[in-house]
Homo-oligomer: A and B are copies of this chain.
Amino acid sequence: MKVAKFGGSSVANAEQIRKVAAIIQADEDRKIVVVSAPGKRNKEDVKTTDLLIELAQYCMDGNEAKQEQWLEKVVDRYAQMVSDLGLDEATTIEIRTDLVNRIQAPYKNSHQLVDSLKASGEDNNAKLIAAYFHSIGMNASYVNPKDAGLLVSDEPGNAQVLPIAYERLHQLKEQEGIIVFPGFFGFSENGTLVTFPRGGSDITGAILAAAVNADLYENFTDVDSVYAANPTIVEDPFEIKKMTYREMRELSYAGFSVFHDEALIPAFRNGIPVCVKNTNNPKSEGTLIVAEREVFDNPVIGIAADEGFATIYVRKYLMNREVGFGRRLLEILEDSSISFEHIPTGIDDTSVIIRESQLTEDVEKQIIDRIKIELQVDDVHIERGFAMVMLVGEGMHNSIGVISRASGALSRRNVNIEMINQGSSETSLVFGIHQEDAKTAVQELYQEFFSTRVLA
């Protein structure tokens, strides 16, 4: 049994939905289909989810004119598909009714309204797709996450699956025909709809794959594979045919955006292989993500870069003699809910590298003041505009020379290395550099590690 998840662009219009149907029909093991809300049909288009978020905002503002207008925009997205797919107009009416009901329902707080409207994108799309499958003679039916038992924690926009959900969902294995399941949301134990964090439909798919112990979790998107580097930075990069969960996770972390790595955790935890495939080119092999792989010649499998990092630099004479200094510094950051990425340390100074987005003006002032007063430091200041460039590969540990080659490559292009972090993870090496050097760095590192070698 396979679980196939289709992203927003794969279910954005009638043409795409026909491709989805063909893909499902092509392999009878594809029993569970998880769908996103209709995504962009072209570069200028707006995702249905974004329309729904705006709609929710107008509802909260009490702006009835805009509310009416945006409701129509959303309904239009589905109406167009209903018409193009030759479905009965009743489907559109049902969707409109559903949206009106969601707007008018009583909620305990505005989060519930937002979550309910956001989730309607996937929910109504699943109903529509199930109706289409049915109309072309497939034995398929929509399944509601509530009925199926997808129980989650009651954190609006940040739901975490509850262990009991897996037991309940396991029964889907026995259901006859194809299941069309909306991504992105579950229900709390008191029956409230709650959405998942970023990567929501991927999460739903991974949970279902784990619950039914699928042989494969197929993640259909709009690229042929995961690439060894960002194709907008490196021309025609290698396709990665097979990689490990760890490699995927390290690369995702550094800005590889095929999907959000944490979304796949339920699949990883249960040892279910994940395959990234292209809805628009299903013949292409895709990228298989597995627990273990053989390591060939090249120690590096991928190179990624992410921007928007800042450094909190702290200097205090004799810092290294002060037991507890590091802990107290982290405590101050923790009190402002700042999580850190790396902590390079000197004798008398230490830097904490964090994501810049966490630093509002208030937070910055607060932590600087506290560090000055409570830690009695000689200097504390914040620098922004750093990028982290990451080399990832299972073959990197014990590969004498990777650091030398990588730093040599950066040196050739005059990219100064502000920070290196190596030593804990066995599958990655991180360089901190100035943001403006990020593109050059990725290009030269790609050149160094991929120009003369065939990727594993």
A330 on the interface (CB 8 Å rule)?
Answer: yes
Residues of chain B with a CB closer than 8 A to A408's CB: 404, 408
A1 on the interface (CB 8 Å rule)?
Answer: no
A420 with B423: CB separation less than 8 A: yes
A346 on the interface (CB 8 Å rule)?
Answer: yes
A284 on the interface (CB 8 Å rule)?
Answer: no
A411 on the interface (CB 8 Å rule)?
Answer: yes
Residues of chain B with a CB closer than 8 A to A231's CB: none
Residues of chain B with a CB closer than 8 A to A423's CB: 342, 344, 351, 353, 418-421, 432
Partner of A327, one of B249, B334, B416, B417: B334
Give the Cβ gap from A324 to chain B, nearest Cβ, in Å.
Answer: 5
Partner of A424, one of B269, B331, B340, B346: B346
Would you list which residues of chain A between 417 and 442 have a CB under 8 Å from chain B? 417-425, 428, 432
Stretch at the interface among A57-65, A182-190, A395-403: A395-403
Q: Is the interface of A mostly helix, strand, loop or mixed?
A: mixed
A262→B349 CA distance, assembly (Å): 15
A344→B350 CA distance, assembly (Å): 12
Additional 20 contacts, C-beta under 8 A, given A320-B341, A400-B416, A423-B432: A250-B347, A320-B339, A321-B339, A324-B330, A326-B340, A327-B330, A327-B334, A342-B344, A343-B345, A346-B425, A351-B423, A353-B423, A400-B411, A401-B407, A403-B403, A403-B411, A404-B404, A404-B411, A420-B420, A421-B423
Sorted nearest first, the 5 A-B pairs with minimum C-beta distance are A346-B425, A419-B423, A344-B423, A327-B330, A404-B407
- Chain A: residues with CB nearer than 8 A to chain B? 249-250, 253, 262, 265, 269, 313, 317-318, 320-321, 323-324, 326-327, 330-331, 334, 337-351, 353, 398, 400-401, 403-404, 407-408, 410-411, 414-425, 428, 432
